[in-house]
Structure 1
């Protein structure tokens, strides 16, 4: 704005300038009240330009101070706005965490917020922020107390658990671990939780070995029973299945134990098959001996079969073999009787022939009648 230099004009111009400045101050004040500090500063700078041109240095100084105040206010207001906006977002997240029972996370969130702003802001000047800090302190103290109580309750359980594990009492160790789990569900301390995770993993590994050991022992007992009953295929199937399973795991010691048992079963089966072969050979000998009327040899063969059959558990036909022996012994008796009769008949026949030569027909006839009677009595 260009001002006239004459005296009358100066007076009028100053009035106009002051009037203009007053108008601008009203506008600037309105911006200030609406917290539009940037606009208020622009107006104040315009006032300074007008005042400086009019050589109203007191106004220039006043507006300069006012601008400095506005800058501070704007900067401060920006921080307050940022705090309010961040706090609203934080409070929403904080309440979500509390709803999920994540008290430690909620507390840490609030602590980070305080750390971010405490250097440049007095957060307690914000009532809602202050109230939330007070509420959090109460919640945190209660939470911390509960956590300490849980840790104290876990300590004796840990001692009991280790004692049971060291004495291989996995049943009571498992029961103790179950009690601890109920407490651990409420615990948030990551270090303690990690320690119990390791403890549980250790228990599960021991339990796995214990169950496997028991399972293997049961299989070995069943295999032994099957082997004693000469059910070799069933025994081998059980062992092969378990060995294949163990080969896929880290329990090679058990696998070697079962492989040794499998070798024993295979050896037992081999011996069994050999004895079965011996029985078959003896049965062929029986047929041959019977066909040659060598009944005593046949009975000896049968007795060997009975002995082997009893040894290998094939007792189904023992009764038949015993009856067969009775039959053969009867044949032996008959053969013996026939042999004795043949001997007597031969002697009588000689006597009869001599009687005929002597024409002693009566004696000869009696001798031949006796021979006939002897022959008839053979099968009686």
Structure 2
């Protein structure tokens, strides 16, 4: 009798430990041509994604950033009545996944396209693509945003005759040490460096780094967890550049650049979009967009090693215009958003090798998913 009572208990423990119970992770989607911000649940035991639901109706919530405390979320937005300037929205995350608007503030610049939060959760930073500028805000205790605390206008041009006639700030990221922020400007081939004061919510100019090569178009970047390397995705060149910290505080030194596409690929009408580092830190992923609907959209996989990296494979993205993608916290699943095909493709990720494989599952999406962020 004792054995009969023990077996079910032991089996239940094994199933729980193995994840068979189906742990879910919430994921939020910034969008274009839709009603607002959406959310869904990913079952990490199966790679199954629930049907996305509307979390909050809001205008043009293109890019998202989740507060480190996991209770607030921030997004780019429009329609604040501040002339041509865009805005930032602060929202509370409710238990059921829905969002409640806290407040909005002007970025004082046109076309905000990226937002990030510092490690302490006290400062929000925004990149204004259309205006070629960056803005910072204090985050208050209730999650609300203060008015803009600092604003910096970029200057200059690049070599590309059509895309670099002026500054286009495309993103801004704090470093792992939370001492500096780095604004990637597609229009001038520079990474503008700012000293970060989280408590004051301010950015102070601290120099810049050039992305060498000409007509590169730096778009997004990711730091390695140890802060030893920064990986920059170049939109115009469809390439990936790696930097390391320089001798002076906040500075960066260039190491190398590699194409995100196979050597025999015609880069005409191709554009880099997003970059992610696997949760185990061993692999880098980059998405490549086909501007002409020829089915060349892809995800490239790189292996990381000391002071360098190497492209391992390039796999069809299964969507049109993969502007954004992300890897779940377990490192086993990748969600790829098709901005123009209005869908989400699910890939299986092999954490030991970095290899990705399409699962055969695609979910229709209401509009274009252009930012994918996991809550956990």
TM-score, normalised with respect to structure 1: 0.16
User: Which structure's relative contact order is higher, taking Cα pairs within 8 Å and 6+ residues apart?
Assistant: 2
Return the structure number with greater strand share.
2
**Taking structure 2 as the reference length, what is the TM-score of the superposition?**
0.16
